[in-house]
Amino acid sequence: MALYADLHRHLGGALHPRIIYKFLQRQDHPILHYFPDYDGFYNWFTRPCRTLEEFVKIHSLVEELQSVEHLPYFCVRLCRGAYTFENLQYMELRYNPYFRTNPKQPQDKRIGEMNGVVEVITTNVRPAEYPIVVKQILCLDRRLPREINEAILKVAEDNLGPVVGVDLAGPEINPENFEEWVELLGKARARGLKTTCHLAETGIENVYPEYFNVLDRIGHGIHIPLVKPEYLKQIAKKQITLEVCPTSYRQTGVLKDFQELRLVFQRCKQAGVAIAVCTDNPGRNPSPCTLPGEYERLIDHDVIDFKELKQIQNESFRSAFGFVGGAWTAI
C-alpha cells in the first residue's frame, strides 16, 4: 500500500459534505430550510465558484460550525477518512484558531480561548484506530488586525510540537501591507516555526521578493511560474517548495483547465523548484476528491508523466514541516 503525505489541507474544507450535512441534521441547523435533502446541499457545497472570495464565504460558514465543543466530532472523522480512503501517512492540517472561538465574545476573550482550540485539536487528531500523523499549521489572516495575528503567532509558539508552522491565509487582499506580513513570518521563523503563505494563487499582485527570505513553502504560488518565471531562480536557491492543489483552482475559478498546470510544472522543473501536490479543501470538491485522485488527474491531463510520480510524492515528505532528517518530530 502506497502511503502519502498532504501538506496543504484546511480544517474548514477537509470534511466530506455528507459529514457536514449529518452534523447539521443533528443540530437541527436553520440552513437545512434551504437544503431539505442531501443532494441539494452537496451541489451547493461542491459547486465551482467564480472567485476565491465567493469560495471563502462558504468556508466561513463551516468555520463557525467548528466551535470547540464540536471539534472532536470533526477531527476524528477527518482522520478516519484520510487514513482509510486516501492512504495518508502524514497530514499537515491548517486552520485559524481565532475563527473557532465564540464570535459573541469580545476580542480579548476570544484571543484567550485560542489555546484551548489548539489543545482540543491536538487531542483529537490522534485516534487510536487510525494511526495517521497529523501536525498543525496555524493560519494568520489578511483580514485580521495585527494584534490578533500576533496572538495567533504566540499560540503557535506555545504549542510547538503539535503545531509545526504558520501560514498567511484569507483572500489575497491589501498587497500593500506586505511588509507587515513579511515581518510576522520572519518572527515566526525566529521562534522555531516553519512558514508558508498563500501567495500568487489568484494573481501576481501579492508577490514581493521579500517574502522569499522568510518562507519555507508557498501555498499555491502558481502565478509565479505562469507570470513571473524570473523569480523561480531565487525560489530554488532558497529551497522553497510550492504547494500545488490542482482541483482547487477549478473550484475557486482561478484556472479553467488542469492542462494550464503543465507550464507550472515544466517551468518549476527547469528552474529546480520543488512542488508538493496537495488537496487544499478536498471536501469542497466534487467527490471523490482525494490526494491519490489528484495525482491521477495530473497524469490523466498530461501535466506530469507517470515516471515523475514517485518523485513528486516523495517531495511531500521531504518538504514536510514535521518530518526532519527522516524522522517525525516529537509530538
Q: Give 111 or 140: the residue with its C-beta nearer to Zn ion.
A: 140
Window contacting Zn ion (CB under 5 A); options: 42-50, 55-63, 138-146, 272-280: 272-280
189: nearest Cα among 207, 170, 211: 211
Q: What's the CA angle centered on 310, arms 308 and 312, to 5 degrees?
A: 70
In angstroms, give the least distance from the CB of 198 to Zn ion: 6
Interface positions, 48-107, toward Zn ion (CB under 5 A): none
Residue with cell 477537509: 14
| CB 320, CB 5: distance < 8 Å | yes
CA 169 from centroid of its chain's CA atoms: 9
DSSP strand pairing (133-141 vs 88-95):
parallel
| CA 297 – CA 118 distance, rounded (Å) | 34
Segment contacting Zn ion by CB under 5 A, of 63-71, 276-284, 297-305, 321-329: 276-284
Cβ distance to Zn ion smaller for residue 42 or 249: 249
What is the C-alpha separation between 70 and 284, in angstroms, rounded?
Answer: 20
Using the minimum distance from each CB to Zn ion, give the nearer residue, 193 or 197. 197
Location of C-alpha cell 521578493 = 209
| Interface with Zn ion: number of residues (CB under 5 A) | 1
Q: Minimum CB separation from Zn ion for residue 8, in Å?
A: 6
The interface region with Zn ion, picked from 68-76, 148-156, 249-257, 278-286 by CB under 5 A, is: 278-286
Q: Which stretch binds Zn ion (CB under 5 A): 51-59, 77-85, 141-149, 273-281?
A: 273-281
From 58-66, 232-240, 275-283, 307-315, give the range in contact with Zn ion by CB under 5 A: 275-283
86 vs 280 by CB, closer to Zn ion:
280
Residue 92 or 280: the one with the smaller Cβ distance to Zn ion is 280
Q: Choose between 280 and 294: whose C-beta lies nearer to Zn ion.
A: 280
* 126's grid cell: 490522534
The answer to the question of residue 167 lying near Zn ion (CB under 5 A) is no
Residue 92: CB minimum distance to Zn ion, A: 11
Alpha-carbon gap, residue 70 to 68, rounded angstroms: 6
**Least distance to Zn ion from the beta carbon of 288, Å?**
20
Written as one letter, the residue type at 232 is L
How open is the CA angle 169-172-173, to the nearest 5 degrees? 115
Residue (of 118, 162, 115) closest to 331 by Cα position: 162
| Residue 10 C-beta: closest distance to Zn ion, Å | 6
Exactly one of 280, 284, 290, 323 binds Zn ion (CB under 5 A); that residue is: 280
Residue 166 half-sphere exposure, CB side, CA atoms within 13 Å?
A: 30
> Least distance to Zn ion from the beta carbon of 245, Å?
7
Name the CA dihedral angle for 99, 283, 329, 324, rounded to a multiple of 10 degrees: -120
Residue numbers at the binding site for Zn ion (CB under 5 A): 280
